[in-house]
A and B are shown apart, each in its own frame.
Chain A
Amino acid sequence: MAIRVLRLLLPWVVFAVVLAVLPGMFTSAHSRLVLIQALLYGVLAVSWNLTLGLAGIFNFAQIAFFGVGAYSSAILVDRTGMSPWLAMALAAVSAALSACVAFLPVLRLRGIYVGLATYVFSQLCIYLVLGQSDLTGGSNGIVGLPDMTLGPVNFYDHNRYGYYCLGAVLLFAVCAVFLAISRSRFGLSLVALRNNEQLAASRGIRRTRQQFLAFVIGAAAAGVAGSYNAFLNSVVSTDVFGFGYLTILLSMIFLGGRSSIPGTVVGAVVITVLNDRLSGTGAWQQVVTSAIILVVLWVFPEGLAGAGRLLWRRVAAMRGRDGTGGSPTDTTAAAVPLEPAAAHRPADHA
């Protein structure tokens, strides 16, 4: 029992330690910003993975939820002088409310048509923002947002150390919550609906309700990420709804592995760092990034997460051959014949 708990907690402890140690290793303003960007993208990509990966819904409105979160918190702080913390919480609410609207096409449509309709929703958000320029600043956006503070600590100080810590907490929390969701009955029902909608309906699973909840929960997390992004940059513009965010997040999810939370986080880190390293190379930035994604997906269709699983099975199979373990349920391990192991025994070589 104790070993089971330890095995369950160990990855989280390692994750927390890595998050705590990283800012000490990357202290310059630039590298710290890259780290923070990776955290932000990680939160957004994991939140998107609930609908896109686990539920298998072509939801392209996630960027809109991110933008709605950014704009609503910026407007609230700009107009009412509200605390950024409260605005961040309300950003989750407003993004969740916008998800109620974006979900409407999912009631009737399926597959790629959901993708088209939800993408149109994000584009409509841009026009809504531009049309309400009194409130949103139109194409100028809203600038000069205050920095977040906690007591006497300004998050911008020490090369945005506070923002790093908040981003790390958000990423940790989002990963924990979304992993718990993916393992719950609710998460299983999303996979069931993705696999076979008719069978799911004939087992009492309510498609509309379950997928609606996935939309709203994913949107709330994206709204918080949007708010975080607004205060981090102290500015918000229609860029947050743009195609740039959409493509970069999709590359992170596909590179990392759909419906894998650790994979998505690794994908976010790899793409963010890659983009930063290649930032001086012009168009080569996109060419190299795309080439790497294509090669990884060619070799490992399930992305880096798939590669990791394959490696893990190999290790488990080798351990099984040594007689030190190997799960009986792991069919790859079980499929490895036992005879070759006997051939390695010293007695056989004699």
Chain B
Amino acid sequence: MGGVAAPPADRDTEAPLLSVRGVSKTFGKLAAVRDVSFDVRSGEVFGLAGPNGAGKSTLFNVLTGVPFGPDPGGHVLLRGQDVVGRPGWSITRAGLVRTFQTEAVFDDLSVLQNVRVCASPSALGRRGRVAEDRVREALETVGLTDGDAPAKQLSLVDRKRLMIATAIVSRPSVLLLDEPAAGLEPQDQDQLIDLLRTINAAGVTIILVEHVLRVLRTLCGRMIVLDAGAVIAGGAPEQVLADPAVVQAYLGPGGAA
């Protein structure tokens, strides 16, 4: 990720890179995401936590338009431009790139082909050679060495790495990671933390959905917690995770006592 320019330093005065305003998603009578608003500043790692079924993954879906956008009325402003209503591929090309909870890769392609297809010249300004350099760079960043290996034969950890490589090859402005540490051993979690730090240091803003609190505490400067689709707390991780409302959301009524 060598050649990426670092984001401007004066974070407090600049406009947020991503501004989510009043985003909801309803399925029939079920409100999966309810009037969620938050700002993400350029260059930060922003945490998103909440118990199972809180609407974290649905929020990722509606932010990136894959596979669906939010209900009418909400706004997702990337550098001030509303991306709501645009198809998923277009939001991706605008710089909002997500990963999935399960280790999704293209099984019938090799490792190299997986990354190459995500660095299409049309996404990178029709410069094939630049795209090839970025493919190599992305694989080096995540630490995958055997480009010819079939993706379907990779281990869980390597599939996660490959998924992240396919996400960073297009140099997104905001990388939305959906539980990247799930199912990893503690030493693999440490490697993941290092990897995410490297990606972040290269100028990629990260929104991190995670259940592993250690990872959230280590990486995030700020975070919010969702419960039943709504934001119930926000701020620095230590402060948020000690919030009685958050403890109760995770442990149920009486859990805070």
Closest 3 CB pairs of A and B: A329-B148, A201-B88, A188-B117
Collect the chain A residues with CB atoms within 8 Å of residue B120's CB: 185, 189, 204-205
| Min C-beta distance of B167 to chain A, whole Å | 7
A195 within 8 A of B: yes
Q: Which residues of the partner chain A approach B104 to less than 8 Å between Cβ atoms?
A: 196, 198-199
**11 A-B pairs (CB sep. < 8 Å):** A188-B113, A194-B108, A198-B88, A202-B64, A202-B100, A203-B89, A203-B118, A204-B118, A205-B89, A327-B148, A331-B149
Cα A185 to Cα B106 with chains together (Å): 14
- The answer to the question of A250 belonging to the interface, with a C-beta cut-off of 8 Å to chain B, is no
Least CB distance from B164 to A in Å reads 12
Whether A97 is near chain B, meaning CB under 8 Å from some CB there, is: no
> Interface digits, B97-124 against A, CB 8 Å rule (1 contact, 0 not)?
1101000111111000100111011010
Most buried by A among B88, B113, B167: B88
> Does A34 interact with chain B (Cβ within 8 Å)?
no
Which of the residues A185, A191, A198, A206 comes within 8 Å of B108, measured between beta carbons? A191
Q: Give the residues in chain A near B87, CB-CB below 8 Å.
A: 201, 206
State whether the Cβ of B170 lies closer than 8 Å to any Cβ in chain A.
yes
On whether the beta carbons of A202 and B66 are closer than 8 Å, the reply is yes
Q: Closest CB of chain B to A190's CB: distance in Å?
A: 9
In the complex, A170 has a CB within 8 A of chain B: no
Known A-B contacts A191-B109, A195-B106; the reply to A203 vs B167 at CB < 8 A is: yes
A194 to B107, CA, bound (A): 10
In angstroms, how far is the closest chain B Cβ from the Cβ of A204? 4
Q: Is the CB of A201 within 8 A of B67?
A: yes
Distance in Å: Cβ of A254 to nearest Cβ of chain B: 17
Residue of B92, B108, B146 with most partner-chain A CB within 10 A: B108
Contact: B149 with A201, CB < 8 Å? no
The interface residues of chain A lying within 8 Å CB-to-CB of B170 are: 203-204
Q: Mark B59-77, 1 if CB is under 8 A from A, else 0.
A: 0000011110000000000
Partner of B117, one of A185, A201, A327: A185
Residues in B with CB closer than 8 Å to A206 are: 87, 89
**B89 contact from A185, A188, A204, Cβ within 8 A:** A204
CA distance A196 to B146 in the complex (A): 22
Partner of A188 from the list B88, B92, B107, B109 (CB cut-off 8 Å) is B109
Interface-central residue, B93, B106, B107, by most chain A CB under 10 Å: B106
How long is the Cα–Cα vector from A14 to B150 in the complex, in angstroms?
A: 28
A residues 173-216 touching B (CB-CB < 8 Å)? 185, 188-189, 191-192, 194-196, 198-207
Per the bound structure, the CA–CA distance linking A191 and B110 in Å amounts to 11
Interface of B is mostly: loop
**Using Cβ atoms and an 8 Å threshold, which residues of chain B touch A331?**
149-150, 153
Given contacts A195-B107, A331-B150, contact A201 B113 (CB under 8 A): no
Inter-chain contact A192/B117, CB cutoff 8 Å: yes
Interface residues of A (CB under 8 A from B): 185, 188-189, 191-192, 194-196, 198-207, 327, 329, 331
* Interface flag for B166 (CB, 8 Å): yes
Q: A201-B66, A203-B166, A206-B89 are in contact. Are A195 and B123 (CB under 8 A)?
A: no
Q: Which residues of B contact A (CB under 8 A)?
A: 64-67, 87-89, 92-93, 97-98, 100, 104-109, 113, 116-118, 120-121, 123, 146, 148-150, 153, 166-167, 170
Nearest Cβ on chain B to A309's Cβ, whole angstroms: 12
**Chain A residue, CB-CB nearest to B97:** A202
> Could you tell me the distance in whole angstroms from the C-beta of A239 to the nearest C-beta in chain B?
36
Query: Does B117 contact A189, Cβ atoms closer than 8 Å?
Result: yes
Cα–Cα distance between A195 and B117 once the two chains are bound (Å):
12
Residue of A nearest to B100 (CB): A199
The reply to whether A199 and B106 form a contact with Cβ atoms under 8 Å apart is yes
Contact B92 A204 (CB under 8 A): yes
Query: What residues of A have a CB within 8 angstroms of the CB of B148 in the complex?
Result: 327, 329
Contacts of B123 in A (CB 8 A): 204
> A195-B109, A204-B89 given. 4 additional CB < 8 A pairs?
A196-B106, A201-B65, A201-B87, A202-B92
Would you call A188 and B116 a contact (CB within 8 A)?
yes
Residues of B within 8 A of A188 (CB): 109, 113, 116-117
Query: In the bound complex, do residue A198 and residue B66 qualify as a contact, i.e. CB atoms below 8 Å apart?
Result: yes
Scoring A192, A204, A205, A207 by chain B CB atoms within 10 A of each residue's CB, the highest score goes to: A204
A56 to B: closest C-beta gap in Å: 9
Q: Which residues of A contact B98 (CB under 8 A)?
A: 202
Q: Which residues of A contact B100 (CB under 8 A)?
A: 198-199, 202
Shortest distance from the beta carbon of B157 to any chain A beta carbon, whole Å: 17
Shortest Cβ distance from B144 into chain A, in angstroms? Answer: 13
List, in ascending order, chain A residues with CB within 8 A of B153's CB: 331
In the complex, A196→B97 CA distance in Å?
16
Q: Which residue of A lies closest to B120 (CB)?
A: A185
| CA of A204 to CA of B121, assembled, Å | 11
* With known contacts A188-B113, A199-B104, A331-B153, A204–B93 Cβ distance under 8 A: yes
Find chain B residues with CB under 8 A from A198 CB.
Answer: 66-67, 88, 100, 104
Residues of B within 8 A of A327 (CB): 148
How many Å from the CB of B93 to the closest CB on chain A?
Answer: 5
Tell me if B109 and A202 are in contact (CB < 8 A): no
B146 & A329 in contact (Cβ 8 Å cutoff): yes
Minimum CB–CB distance from A4 to chain B (whole Å) comes to 14
Q: Report the minimum CB–CB distance from B37 to chain A (whole Å).
A: 23
